[in-house]
Amino acid sequence: MAQSPLIELDDVGKVFITGALRHEVLKHISLKIEEGEYLALMGPSGSGKSTLLNILGCLDVPSGGHYRLEGREIASRADAELARVRNQFFGFVFQSFNLLGRYTVEENVALPMVYRGLARRERLQRARDLLARVGLKDFTRHLPSELSGGMQQRVAIARALVNSPKVLFADEPTGNLDSKTGQEIISLFGELSAEGTTLVVVTHDPRVAEHARRVLTLIDGEIVGDKRNGEAA
């Protein structure tokens, strides 16, 4: 395939400056992510995993290097442009679920479509479809606080998927869950990957790494390992 990768980082660096301190968190990161990949980002705490994920997801911008999305350089750092990319290309799942407590489950899931300009009825229909997909068909009208942690995380995953993103990013999605519910989420990711969703997951959980088809290891802001699991998996 001569097609350009979905996301390409070319010599990306990230430097945080706090007062007089200059903290180089990412160094010379070059990376290609193809469509349909299931990638796990691992490494010790403070190694820069979240920072890398945020840059990949256009929540943050690199201090240097190139970022290409489907071969196009995202040079513009204009807020409106980045917001549009996040809305239409990416979905995010966080360690804490970040559901809005005053909205019902289906309204939470429909939220990204608000910023896409879809009509409310269409949004809620699509949200219900996705809730059915993550096994929460009977909880559409509940408030998030009425759901268990694992269910809330599934709502968050439905929300991340609602705009049919090119990539689903997750930053320690099982970090706030017990190991059984964590396993449910991991299985769900496995299913999504099998259905063709591109996944990039930051995790400390070795079970995620087992499922993922590619494991990237980061230490001190550098990629020290890029291992592909056997195709047989």
Partner 1 sequence: MNPFEHLRIAMDALAANKLRSFLTMLGVIIGVASVIMLVAIGEGAKTYIRAELMGIGTNLLIIVPGKTETSGMGHMPSGVQKLTLTDMRALEKRASLIPVMTPVVVSNAPVKLGNRLRNVQIIGTDQNFEAVRNLHVEIGSFISKADVDGGRRVAVIGRTVKKELFGESNPLGRTVKIGETKFRVIGIMEKKGMTLGQDIDDHVFIPVETAQEIFDEDGLTNILAQVINESAIERAKEQIRGVLIDRHAGEEDFTIVSQQAMLSTMQTILGTFTYVLGGIASISLLVGGIGIMNIMLVSVRERTREIGLRKAIGAAQRDILLQFIIESVVLSMVGGLIGILIGAGIAYGAKAIFPVLPIDVSTWSVLTAFIFAFMVGAFFGIYPASKAARLNPIEALRYE
Ligand X SMILES: Nc1ncnc2c1ncn2[C@@H]1O[C@H](COP(=O)(O)OP(=O)(O)OP(=O)(O)O)[C@@H](O)[C@H]1O
87 makes contact with partner 1 (CB under 8 A): yes
Q: Any bridge partners for residue 199, and if so which?
A: 38, 168
Interstrand relation of 72-73 and 21-33 (parallel, antiparallel or unpaired): unpaired
- Identify residues 47-76 at the interface with Mg ion (CB under 5 A): 50
83 is a site residue for partner 1 (CB under 8 A)? yes
Shortest distance, CB of residue 105 to partner 1, whole angstroms? 15
Do 214 and 225 contact (CB within 8 A), yes or no? no
Residue located via tokens 């479809």: 129
Q: Which does 47 bind (CB under 5 to 8 A by kind): ligand X, Mg ion, partner 1, none?
A: ligand X
Q: How far apart are CA 186 and CA 30, in angstroms?
A: 27
Instruction: Give the DSSP letter of residue 48.
Output: S
- Check binding of 203 to Mg ion (CB under 5 A): no
Among ligand X, partner 1, Mg ion, none, what does residue 83 contact (CB within 5–8 Å per kind)?
A: partner 1
* Cross-strand pairs, 14: 26
Among the listed ranges 44-52, 66-74, 115-123, 179-187, the one in contact with ligand X (CB under 6 A) is: 44-52
Q: Does 12 bind ligand X (CB under 6 A)?
A: no
Q: How far is the CB of 13 from ligand X (least distance, A)?
A: 12
Cβ nearer to ligand X, comparing 17 with 75: 17
Q: Which of 166, 151, 220, 191 is nearest to 6 (CA)?
A: 166
Nearer to partner 1, 158 or 215 (CB): 158
| 173 contributes a contact to partner 1 by CB under 8 A | no
d(CA 226, CA 95): 24
Number of neighbours of residue 232 by Cβ within 10 angstroms: 4
Answer yes or no: are the C-beta atoms of 71 and 4 closer than 8 Å: yes
Q: In the numeric block, which tokens belong to residue 56?
A: 């990949």
Beta carbon nearer to Mg ion, 48 or 144: 48
Among 12, 39, 48, 157, interactor with ligand X by CB under 6 A: 48
Assign 133 to helix, strand or coil.
helix
Please list, in sequence order, all residues whose beta carbon lies within 8 angstroms of the beta carbon of residue 210, skipping any fewer than 6 positions away: 229
The correct pick among 19, 22, 45, 117 for binding partner 1 (CB under 8 A) is 117
Chain contacts with partner 1 (rule: CB under 8 A): 54, 57, 59-60, 79-80, 83-84, 86-88, 91-92, 94, 98, 100, 102-103, 111-112, 114-117, 159, 163
* Interaction site with ligand X (CB under 6 A): 16, 18, 23, 25, 43, 45-51
